[in-house]
Amino acid sequence: MPTSHLPSAVEELRERTRRFIRETVVDAEPVPGERLEKATRDRLQAAAKEAGVFAPHMPAEYGGQGLSVEHWSPVLQEAGYSPIGPSVLNCMAPDEGNMHMLHLIATEEQKKRYLVPLAAGEIRSCFGMTEPHPGAGSDPAALRTTAVRAEGGWVINGHKRFISGAVGAGFCIVMARTPETGDAPEGATMFLVDMDNPGIRVGAPVHTVDRYIDGGHPHVHLEDCLVPDDAVLGSVGQGFRYAQVRLGPARLTHCMRWLGLARRSLDIALDRAERRELFGAPMNSLGLAQNLIAESVIDIETSDAIITKTAELLASDPRAGSALSSVAKVHCSEAISRVIDRAVQLCGGDGVSDGLPLAQYLNEVRPFRIYDGSTETHKWAIARRTAKRRRAEVEAGERHQGTATVRGGEA
């Protein structure tokens, strides 16, 4: 990974992270198909704090390493070289996205209550948006969970589905539809709901092929769930706007972490191709193998480039960066899947066995083409934005041409 362009402090953190992941974390990985045990996670998180690599995305005041968004990628890619690395460094979804949003939006009291322990790795969190059909999923506007004012706060009712990290989480950021109230418009509102609130309960699990997000992806039910007024995150009615604050960077950090795993997969395949002979020649000298390797390098490098561009744009223009993150998410989710699939192919039968972790890596990244918006949904949005931009350019050009014609006539 070329890093000469990085500031020295960022490069030093990347190098520390690289050493920590490869020398400490990789040996502690669970066997393919198994989940990371809490005791192991706690031990490794303590070691990460000691090594100065914990919570790279968080400010130092919260125990993090203080990286700005444009410098997250090289470090999160190093973390993602191990599938448990992001959890160990406390930069895994959904906690990483929730931390970022809380840091930007929460009140000081909310930060003390929720962000401080979350950033320290003392608790986990979840984000309650997705609902069973016909509720919110690919279309957030279909949100059906409701919150209405009541004496002492708000009463929330709704059914959430596929709420990553909910099992064992300390709190949930719940998205609910709220009516017009006072100066607040009708719309969505975010609420901080403690998971020990009697009105919220974790329901049936949703069994998926991935294993490395702590807390699974279960249903969550909110039944006359009473929360106080200070449970509102941000302003009433502004939930969809705040969701964009979270979703743009969260999509991109998924790309960063999984790109690290794609690099790991290619390394595994390269080591295999270096050692194995086929038809009297080293495997890596055969044209078919070289083609697979070259295509994977191209996918990795193009993914790295679009991640870097999007991260820089998120830092300077969050709205434009959020739009470009859709492009990055589509490209990276597809490219990373291809890289790992090629690595499986290069490793032959061992690639689909539990003798290597590649088959599990495929299971981990396959949902990425659905999580945080499916590839097809993002393509639809990308096409709409592109057509709208072009219409605006044409209209602006026609207005300019009309003005020039009028001026020419006057002359």
Q: Are 398 and 273 spatial neighbours (Cβ–Cβ below 8 Å)? A: no
- Predicted confidence at residue 183, as pLDDT, reads 85
Q: Look-up: residue for tokens 């998971």?
A: 195
Note the pTM of the prediction, 2 decimals: 0.93
- Among residues 258, 169, 173, the alpha carbon closest in space to that of 218 is found at 169
Q: How confident is the model at residue 1, as a pLDDT?
A: 61
Mind spelling out the 3-state secondary structure of 133-163? CCCCCCCHHHCCCEEEEECCEEEEEEEECCC
Q: How far is CA 214 from the centre of its chain?
A: 14
Q: Which residue has the tokens 């539990």?
A: 354
CA distance 235 to 237: 6
Per-residue model confidence as pLDDT tens digits over 263-314: 999 999 999 999 888 888 888 889 999 999 999 999 999 999 999 999 999 9
Strand partners, 112: none
Query: Residues 161, 206: contact at Cβ < 8 Å?
Result: yes
| Residue 405 pLDDT | 62
Structural domains of the chain in order of their starting residue, each with its CATH number: 8-119 (1.10.540.10), 125-236 (2.40.110.10), 241-390 (1.20.140.10)
| Positions in the chain short of pLDDT 50 | 410-411
pLDDT at 2: 52
**H/E element, 48:** helix 38-51
Query: Hey, what are 305's tokens?
Result: 């480039």
Cα–Cα dist 87/37, whole Å: 11
Q: What is the phi/psi pair of residue 207, to 5°?
A: -80, 125
pLDDT score at 181? 85
